[in-house]
Amino acid sequence: MQKKINIIHYWGGFPIIATSKWLSALTLVKKCAENNWNNWNNWLVLSKQPDDLSLVTPFIDAGCKIIYQPRSKGNFDLKSIYRNYKFMRLINCDILHCYNDHTSPLIAGMLSRTPVKVWSKLSMSSYYEKGVKPQGLKKLMPSTRLTCLLANRILAISDAARKEICDQVGFDNKISIVDVPVQLERFTCLEKSDEIREEFHLLKSDYLITAVGHFIEVKGWDIAVPAFAKVCKSIPNAKLLLVGKKTSDSFYQKIVEKIEFFNLKDKVIFAGNRSDIPEILKASDLFILPSRSEGTPAALIEAMASGLPCIATNAGGMPEVIENGDNGYLFEKGNVDELANKINSIALDPDLKIRFITNAQKDLHKFSIERYVDNVFNHYQDLLRH
């Protein structure tokens, strides 16, 4: 009789809506379970129970056990280490796959002698986001260094994320690139509808510019608003739709103040957190991603799959998705004038828009959820063999 494989998918958070990330996790759990139902046991660790229980039901239906644990407090949380050590020892864990919360769980994995430990690096570091270099002892990057030391394999979401780890702490031999997974069919196959535009009281003549993220500085919405103010001078019927939750009250207030300063109250729409992103993108005319940093943003790939011309910051993994001037535009981080000019270029040139949309469709297949799941599962199997 074959030994059962116990695998922990350690999120370090919890799902709010059914995103591509949520579906990729569910598909990965199913892949593990269906590979050999009697010999793979899945455990999903979330920081809390989601408000919408339908987000965990499919995992349970797939035979996955759900565990709720608070996120680690800081990078070296003794309570988290002990809690996870006991849990891994109890189930005789074989594979620990960490996402956002990683150092403390991986220490627990080492102490519990879990043989396979994987870390998915999903974003750039806070230093990259802020454009600063670590000083003093922080130059040693103790958390990242220890995570890389303990992990058997590091799955970087982009080449930029891979290079950042190498520049900071090394460990190039442990790193593989696994492209961000996106539910492409949901965005490519959807028919355009007028319902979203009617909901937001948009006229057919309104030119809708959409950004998807949340109210936090790294998303760069404080760059989008003044750029949009400049766009309105040449495109009076332009509207800006900001889709995402109010993560930071102070940053939200900063955006409100900018909107009032530029007298854009009737032109900027706050959509809040939404589960109908594909429908919103289909109702839009242009997508912008003014983030100061991204690993590889699923939102950008989703917009391209929806048939929207896209503009993103020349930072992080975004240049790995957009080739400037070929399938979209890149602009330099924080450059309000350049963002405004490139919005105008697309809005006022229908041929450019069509070229961007056509070229963007060519390489999207590499971001499919099926490819992501097969890639990650192959890493599991390879590591188990060793």
CA 360 to CA 54: how far, in whole Å? 33
- The tens digit of pLDDT for each residue in 20-65 reads 899 999 999 999 998 754 579 999 999 999 999 999 999 999 999 9
pLDDT of residue 123: 84
Q: Which of 239, 236, 231, 253 is nearest to 210 (CA)?
A: 239
Q: Quick one: 94 and 153 in the same domain? A: yes
Query: Across all residues in the chain, what is the average pLDDT?
Result: 93
Answer whether residue 125 shows pLDDT above 90. no
Amino acid identity, position 3: K
Digit-coded pLDDT (tens) for 221-271: 999 999 999 999 999 999 999 999 998 999 999 999 999 999 999 999 999
Residues 16 and 119 in one domain: yes
- Residue 311: phi, psi to the nearest 5? -130, 130
pLDDT for 138 equals 73
**329 shares a domain with 315:** yes
What is d(CA 308, CA 192) in angstroms, rounded to the nearest whole number? 12
| 170 shares its domain with 48 | yes
CATH code of the domain in which 255 resides: 3.40.50.2000
Check whether 328 has a pLDDT greater than 60: yes
Residues 207 and 77 in one domain: no
Does one domain contain both 175 and 70?
yes
Give the strands of the sheet with 286-289, arranged side by side: 268-272, 238-243, 207-212, 286-289, 310-313, 329-331
Q: Are 243 and 212 in contact (CB under 8 A)?
A: yes
CA 161 – CA 87 distance, rounded (Å): 30
Report how far residue 348's alpha carbon sits from residue 365's, in angstroms, rounded to the nearest whole number: 30
Residues 286 and 170 reside in one and the same domain: no
pLDDT-derived band at 349, boundaries 50, 70, 90: very high
Q: Does residue 136 have a pLDDT over 90?
A: no
The two structure tokens encoding residue 273: 């957190």
Provide the percentage of residues in the chain whose pLDDT is more than 70: 97
Check residue 190 and give its pLDDT.
87
Task: Tell me, yes or no, whether 360 and 372 share the same domain.
Answer: no
Are 69 and 199 in the same domain? Answer: no
Q: Within 13 A of 378's CA, how many CA atoms are on the CB side?
A: 10
CA 277/CA 311 separation, integer angstroms = 18
Residue with the larger pLDDT of the pair 385 and 208: 208
SS (H, E, C) the chain: CCCCEEEEEECCCCCCCCCHHHHHHHHHHHHHHHHCCCCEEEEEEECCCCCCHHHCHHHHHCCCEEEECCCCCCCCCHHHHHHHHHHHHHHCCCEEEECCCCHHHHHHHHHCCCCEEEEEECCCCHHHHHCCCCCHHHHHCHHHHHHHHHCCEEEECCHHHHHHHHHHHCCHHHEEECCCCECHHHHHCCCCCCHHHHHCCCCCCCEEEEEECCCCHHHCHHHHHHHHHHHHHHCCCEEEEEECCCCCHHHHHHHHHHHHHCCCCCCEEEEECCCCHHHHHHCCCEEEECCCCCCCCHHHHHHHHCCCCEEEECCCCHHHCCCECCCEEEECCCCHHHHHHHHHHHHCCHHHHHHHHHHHCCCHHHHEHHHHHHHHHHHHHHHHHC
Give the separation between CA 269 and CA 265, rounded to whole angstroms. 8
Alpha carbon 239 to its chain centroid, in Å, reads 25
Cβ atoms of 284 and 271 within 8 Å: the answer is no
For residues 115 and 141, the model is more confident at: 115
> Does residue 135 surpass a pLDDT of 80?
no
Nearest alpha-carbon partner for 9 in 22, 20, 1, 17: 22
Q: How many domains does the chain have?
A: 2
Q: Which residues on adjacent β-strands are paired with residue 46?
A: 68
Res 159: pLDDT: 93
**Number of other residues whose CB lies within 10 A of the CB of residue 310:** 26
Report the pLDDT value the prediction gives residue 128, as an integer from 0 to 100: 66
Q: Which residue's structure tokens are 């981080």?
A: 333
CA distance 19 to 245: 14
CA 61 to chain centre: 25
Q: Which residue would you say has higher pLDDT here, 280 or 297?
A: 280
- Give residue 321's domain range: 184-365
What's the CA gap between 101 and 48, in Å, rounded?
A: 14
Looking at the DSSP bridge assignments, the partners of residue 175 are 154
Length in residues, the chain: 386
Question: Average pLDDT in the 155-181 region?
Answer: 94
Tokens of 374: 């097969």
Q: Are residue 358 and residue 372 in the same domain, yes or no? A: no
- Rounded Cα distance between 108 and 88, Å, is 8
Q: Are 123 and 11 in the same domain?
A: yes
Same domain, 341 and 203: yes
